[in-house]
Amino acid sequence: MQQFIEKYDFKGKKAIVRVDFNVPLNEKFEITDDTRIRRAMPTLKKVLAGGGSLIIMSHLGRPKGVADKFSLRHIVDHVAECLGAPVKFAPDCQKAQAEVAALKPGEALLLENLRFYAEEEGKPRGLAEDASDEEKKAAKKAVKESQKDFVKTLASYADCYINDAFGTAHRAHGSTALIADYFPDDKMFGYLMEGEIKAIDNVLKNARHPFTAIIGGSKVSSKLAVLENMLEKVDNLIIGGGMGYTFIKAQGGRIGNSLHEDDLMPQALEILAKAKEKGVKIYLSSQTVIADDFSNEANTQVVPSNAIPEGWEGMDAGAESLATWKEVILGSRTVLWNGPVGVFEMPAFAKGTLQIAEDLATATEKGAYTLVGGGDSVAAVTQMGYADKVSYVSTGGGAMLEALEGKELPGIAAIRG
């Protein structure tokens, strides 16, 4: 049965906690953004304050085996600083028995990168490129078999299991899902996971209406399932960013050299038709800031989005689109934002995305529930200084995207099941 961190008695217990410490490091192995570490602290501190000890586990990057570049030893000191307690380090996550045995209440141990072992992901490594289907199948079977021992060893370290790694909740990996089976009565979400799940429920299950979703970013193909699921939930759907041009072209507009996916045009038209059927209002960008080069220094013009001249490409939403969208956002009681509405990495084309961040902040102030979920919109809202002016900013890119598609995430199911 699922437990709850707030009520669980950690006194004298060893808690193994899956966190997402997959933080960006520079070439000197300094952490350039410690958001993920800081967001896990309430959970880690709760265990220590309750008289328990911590075994912290995470992945870092995408190693193909043991590689110092991906070692979690680079972050131990910073974790200790954030935690306000010493953190020991176990250089092999499968051989930490002695370090675990020595752990006393109030102490913490960080295990080395779980992905130094192929068993964490349960995917074979080092297969020859020309491996036959049989060889691939056998390798997969072998790693799945050894994965059982890998998970069992991790589980043997602790009395209870906490999953606080929303960033990997969409993966059915050893430490994110399979390990939960060893703690049928002592498994729980951490505070960060609880917060993310509540945020998802606030938009997918308990949204107050009018509900508006703003879906931007580069490609329709990566957001198709989100768009389809949103049609079932929202009153208004704002489609911006590069993906908007596929919709505009599909309707017969001239989009010049703008980003688009010809093969997705039938699906775009289907979405527009379905929206009409369901009474969902779709707001594409009516006006576009175009450039004669994909560069911050390019020449620009502002034109209707369906009349972009050849040799020019859409880079940001125009003032007219932003004014329409603003009215829709401020008239909403729930707003979900996923994906920038322009090439916000270039200051010349960041105005639209900045305006959306500002509109969400204003809507929040007026009492709306606002969630910034997934990928680049999270980076944008954080960079632009609006992260604490909206209701919730998600820490999970892929995980949030899959949740918004309506999928049940394995990391969540493993605790609830």
The residues binding ligand AMP (CB under 6 A) are 217-219, 222, 241-242, 259, 314-315, 339-340, 342-345, 375-376
Smallest separation (angstroms) from ligand AMP to the CB of 392: 18
Contact 46, 54 (CB under 8 A): no
**Closest alpha carbon to 224 in 268, 261, 263, 255:** 268
Axis crossing angle, helix 35-49 with helix 191-204, rounded to the nearest 10: 120
Give the other-Cβ count within 10 Å of 6's Cβ: 9
**Closest alpha carbon to 376 in 330, 343, 410, 417:** 343
Of 124 and 256, nearer to ligand AMP (C-beta) is 256
Of 375 and 396, nearer to ligand AMP (C-beta) is 375
- Hey, what amino acid is at 122? G
Smallest separation (angstroms) from ligand AMP to the CB of 383: 12
Smallest separation (angstroms) from ligand AMP to the CB of 338: 7
Residue 408 is classified by DSSP as: P
Of 218 and 229, nearer to ligand AMP (C-beta) is 218
Match 């390990």 to its residue by tokens. Answer: 179
φ, ψ at 104 (rounded to 5°): -110, 160
Smallest separation (angstroms) from ligand AMP to the CB of 110: 31
Of 204 and 346, nearer to ligand AMP (C-beta) is 346
**Whole-angstrom Cα distance, residue 326 to residue 32?**
33
Catalytic residues, by residue number, are 36, 219, 375, 398
- By the 10 Å C-beta count (0-12 exposed, 13-18 middle, 19+ buried), 268 is classed as buried
Of 10 and 283, nearer to ligand AMP (C-beta) is 283
**Of all helices (H) and strands (E), which one includes residue 229?**
helix 224-231
Residue 309 is classified by DSSP as: P
Query: What is the distance of C-alpha 405 from the center of its chain?
Result: 13
**Whole-angstrom Cα distance, residue 392 to residue 390?**
6
**Whole-angstrom Cα distance, residue 255 to residue 290?**
10
Smallest separation (angstroms) from ligand AMP to the CB of 226: 10
Residue 146 is classified by DSSP as: H
Give the other-Cβ count within 10 Å of 330's Cβ: 16
Smallest separation (angstroms) from ligand AMP to the CB of 213: 14
Of 63 and 375, nearer to ligand AMP (C-beta) is 375
